[in-house]
Amino acid sequence: MENIIIRQLEQTDNKAIAQIIRNSLAEFGANKQGTVYYDPTTDDLYSLFTISNAVYYVAELNGELVGGAGIFPTDALPDGYCELVKMYLKKEARGSGLGRHLIDKSLQWAKENGYTHCYLETMPELRKAVSVYEKFGFSYLNGPLGNSGHFGCDVWMIKEL
């Protein structure tokens, strides 16, 4: 790909990444209650990710923000577990390997920061993402872990780091 930069989220990225997340969910008909679409923290991810045991990466393609992914210590997860969160890309950036790069960088950060497992929640509407998670070695769970507050997600997956 052309000029790609993967970097940590900055406060000035809040509006653009919130728009990418919501547009992606709407595109796949997944803009429903109980998802990040309606989560007020989506509008200020920078503040959400200022805690020390979390990180959020954004991807720039030719100077334009095109997506992001993060690691978060979701409430009530077992010790050593983190959650891969808010992994979204603009339509024109999908299929380029950029999503895999963001996931890989996020999982590497989680491992380097002492996490032993990575959990994620998604939904069937996001089939393409689910297939990418499978390729990363995530396996299915029968129910949710922790307390993300995203009751609209009904696909739960886990990976040992």
In angstroms, the CA 145 to CA 26 distance is 25
Q: How confident is the model at residue 99 (pLDDT cuts 50, 70, 90)?
A: very high
Confidence bin at 1 (pLDDT 50/70/90): low
Give this prediction's pTM.
Answer: 0.95
Residue-wise pLDDT for 44-98, tens only, equals 999 999 999 999 999 999 899 999 999 999 999 999 999 999 999 999 999 888 9
Judge whether residue 2 has pLDDT over 80. Answer: no
Residue 148: predicted pLDDT = 93
Q: Give every CB contact of residue 105 below 8 A, 6+ residues apart in sequence.
A: 6, 57, 69
Q: What is the pLDDT of residues 104-140, one digit of tens each?
A: 999 999 999 999 999 999 999 998 899 999 999 999 9
What SS3 class is residue 58? strand
Q: Look at residue 42 and give its three-state secondary structure.
A: helix
**Nearest of 120, 87, 81, 124 to residue 102 by alpha carbon:** 87
The highest-level CATH class for domain 4-160 is: alpha beta
Domains of the chain, residue spans:
4-160
Q: What is the pLDDT of residue 128?
A: 87
